[in-house]
A and B are shown apart, each in its own frame.
Chain A
Amino acid sequence: MTPSRDELAWMYRNMVLSRRLEETISKIYFEGKTPVFNMANGPIPGEMHLSNGQEPVAVGVCAHLTAEDIVTATHRPHHQAIAKGVDLDAMVAEIFGKATGLSGGRGGHMHLFDPKVNFACSGIIAQGLGPAVGAALSRKLRGLPGVAVAFLGDGAANQGAFHEAMNLAAVWKLPFVCVIEDNSWGISVPKSASTAVARNDVRAAAYGIPGHYVAGNDPLAIYEVAGEAIARARAGAGPTLIECETYRLAGHFMGDAEGYRPKGEKEALFAADPIPKMRARLLAEFGFSEDELVAAEGAAADRVAAAIRFARDSADPRPEDALTAVFA
């Protein structure tokens, strides 16, 4: 399964959009936080978990999804939200805690919900799986189309919720795909010290379902494997477990000193940055022109700038609105 030219352009555009957004956020994040770093200060307060480096997983999977499909994401959700088509203005405004944000400032960057494109998050490790499995059950019970994808980190595969949800999806043969982003770190603890198996795809055997490992942080390889899994789910053949090797170019959160990284790791990760690699392949193998890519990159930068402007220009929520929307 090879992506079409349009799909390749879409994948590249969204990778660049996500990266550009996070680069911009990471600059704005430190406004008001220097010289003394206090997470509560500045236009973007609180924890900030960047996904840069992990864009290939989001686009390789979401290229196969439409708005009616369901995605649940994690505390590190920006790339997946963008690839799923979450409204960028409202998403960035939410990150800024503005009244125009997805939830009017109630959720924040770990709690991005856009029901129009069936996107939801949980900031608790592995707890996006249950809701994704339930959404898949909902579609199966009603005979409605749609596949649910839960994204999680490799650390989440050691949570009990992972086991429960995988077993449930498998025993009920639901249209569900579990996608593990293996960035090899759970904050400061390496996967080798936390996980009894080198690759989580082998855990699929415990549920009697197919498991795949995709090496290389390669959007095209992820596209291919995810495409098969999603087609399988759509056909009613049940769930698949996919683990994708990827890299977290930033720390766990902004302000993370990353002292746990071995010497030279960051340099190697940046040398393997998937965006320049994809760019080179589009030029060399897929007949894209330099002008096309420059135009796509410019469009992404403009889109991010517009979203940031929208967020900055938006009003703060009325404080008393904190007391609303507790119940439907």
Chain B
Amino acid sequence: MTGTIVKSNERKLTIARSMAEALAQEMRIDPTVFVMGEDIGTLGGVYGNTRGLIEEFGPERVRDTPISETGFIGAAVGAAQDGMRPVVELMFVDFFGVCFDAIYNLMAKNIYFSGGHLKVPMVLMTSTGGGYSDGGQHSQCLYGTFAHLPGMKVVAPSNAYDAKGLMTAALRDDSPVVYMYHKGLQGMGWLGTEPGATVHVPEDSYTVEIGKAKVVREGRDVTIVSLGIGVHHALKAADTLAQQNVSAEVVDLRSLVPLDRDTIRASVAKTGRLIVVDEDYHSFGVSAEVIASVVEHDLSVLKAAPVRVAYPDVPIPYARVMEQFCLPSPAKIVAAWAQMAA
């Protein structure tokens, strides 16, 4: 799905491993890069994305923090302004409630408040997503919440190749980058894992440009735009639709800020139909923004009203049957096509 043909002997990595590899490679060449967060040291991160770092770089540069998100994210802002390139982990994006001031009033605004005289080169890694019955405070995506507020770049990889390249790009960016990785794609068996996220990852360092979406499957009849785990739902739905002689194009946004509106528009101009798949809440979010990108640009390309497959506007329930009822799925995307084509 990265466009490369994977030979059987080529190395495949999970997203967790590819994130850790990008961090390690950049820490080797840039002494200002360091990592802070809860359980990112000895444990290697709850989601494995800092595994092996403390052994190579030691506890000064791979720094377990107290459970003080306001304190250490605020500290990362100060360190970034002072010439470091901190990487901080917010263990669950749901925890942003205790530290959002440091994120959106400091991290995201200090470049602007300085008139561009300051750089704030930091990466905020945070896990997103549900599907494993972790309840309403440990399962959200909140993509739209972060992408809505100016001053932060936002990326959300769907596979290990992009995960490594986006991480390297984020680490080299002079502006703050929020790096939102989906728990269901991490390759941690205990969370249940989407196998499509584990792909070939080159050993050498490389970047994936922030702000560039990618057409991961070409098609003629409908464009399915998504990000993170939704891309895998979209690809599965496209397989099903192909059996019905419907040719679906799948666009992986990869970045939310900047949003690659050109790629979205070009795809919809070709297919004339748009389905947006988003595990974040339905209203006021990414799905609306994607649709607006098309309709405010050129309404005439649309052959049908766009459809959203998103999380209903309710807190995320615990009971498995309830949560699964709410989550986007390949079947819901196929149903969205049926609604659109009717």
Would A130 and B73 count as touching, CB distance under 8 A? yes
- The CA of A111 and the CA of B81, in the complex, are separated in Å by 15
Question: Contacts of A127 on B, CB cut-off 8 Å?
Answer: 74, 101-102, 105-106
Q: Are A106 and B68 in contact (CB under 8 A)?
A: no
Q: For the complex, give the distance between the alpha carbons of A211 and B101 in Å.
A: 27
Residues in B neighbouring A107, C-beta threshold 8 A: 112-115
A130 contact set on B, CB distance < 8 A: 70-75, 77-78, 102, 106
User: Across the interface, which residues of B come within 8 angstroms of A101, CB to CB?
Assistant: 115
Q: Which residues of B contact A104 (CB under 8 A)?
A: 115
Residues of A within 8 Å of B73, CB to CB, are 130
**Cβ–Cβ < 8 Å partners of A72 in chain B:** 78
Residue of A124, A131, A139 near B81 (CB, 8 A) is: A131
- B72 CB to nearest chain A CB (Å): 6
* Shortest Cβ gap from A149 to chain B (Å): 12
Known: A134-B74, A141-B60, A164-B70. A103 touches B82 (CB 8 A): no
Tell me how far the C-beta of A196 lies from the nearest C-beta in chain B, rounded to whole angstroms.
21
Q: Which residues between 105 and 162 of chain A lie within 8 Å of chain B, taking CB atoms? A: 106-107, 111, 113, 115, 118, 120-122, 124, 127, 129-139, 141-142, 148, 160-161
Docked pose: A130 CA to B32 CA in angstroms: 19
A317 to B, closest residue via Cβ = B115
- The reply on B61 being an interface residue by CB < 8 A is yes
Check if A124 sits within 8 Å of B105, measured CB to CB: yes
Residues of chain A within 8 A of B174, CB atoms compared: 327-328
Known: A106-B113, A171-B66. A326 touches B75 (CB 8 A): no
**Shortest beta-carbon distance, A288 to chain B, in Å?**
38
Tell me, rounded to whole Å, the shortest Cβ–Cβ distance linking B185 to chain A: 27
B153 at the interface (CB under 8 A from A): yes
A interface bracket (residues with beta carbon within 8 Å of B)? 35 or more
Chain B, residues 94-109, CB within 8 Å of chain A (1/0): the string is 0000100110011001
Chain B residues in 8 Å Cβ range of A180: none
The interface residues of chain B lying within 8 Å CB-to-CB of A168 are 65-66, 68, 71-72, 75
Determine the distance from Cα of A138 to Cα of B80 in the docked complex, in whole angstroms: 8
Which chain B residue shows the least CB distance to A105?
B115
The smallest beta-carbon distance between B120 and chain A, in angstroms, is 7
Q: Is A1 an interface residue (CB 8 A)?
A: no
Other-chain contact of B68, A121, A137, A167, A327 (Cβ < 8 Å): A167
Q: Are B74 and A141 in contact (CB under 8 A)?
A: no
Extra pairs beyond A130-B102, A148-B78 (15, CB < 8 Å)? A103-B113, A106-B115, A107-B114, A120-B78, A122-B105, A130-B74, A134-B79, A137-B78, A138-B79, A142-B84, A161-B70, A164-B68, A167-B68, A171-B66, A328-B119
Interface pairs (24), CB distance under 8 Å: A102-B115, A102-B117, A103-B114, A106-B113, A111-B113, A115-B81, A120-B118, A127-B74, A130-B77, A131-B74, A131-B81, A134-B79, A134-B80, A135-B79, A136-B78, A137-B79, A138-B79, A138-B82, A139-B82, A141-B60, A141-B61, A141-B84, A167-B68, A171-B66
Interface of A toward B, CB cutoff 8 Å = 70, 72, 101-104, 106-107, 111, 113, 115, 118, 120-122, 124, 127, 129-139, 141-142, 148, 160-161, 164-165, 167-168, 171, 324-328
Residues of chain B whose beta carbon lies under 8 Å from any beta carbon of chain A? 31-32, 34, 60-61, 65-66, 68-84, 86, 98, 101-102, 105-106, 109-121, 150-151, 153, 173-175
Give 9 closest A-B pairs by Cβ, nearest first. A130-B74, A134-B78, A164-B71, A131-B78, A134-B75, A103-B115, A325-B116, A328-B174, A164-B68
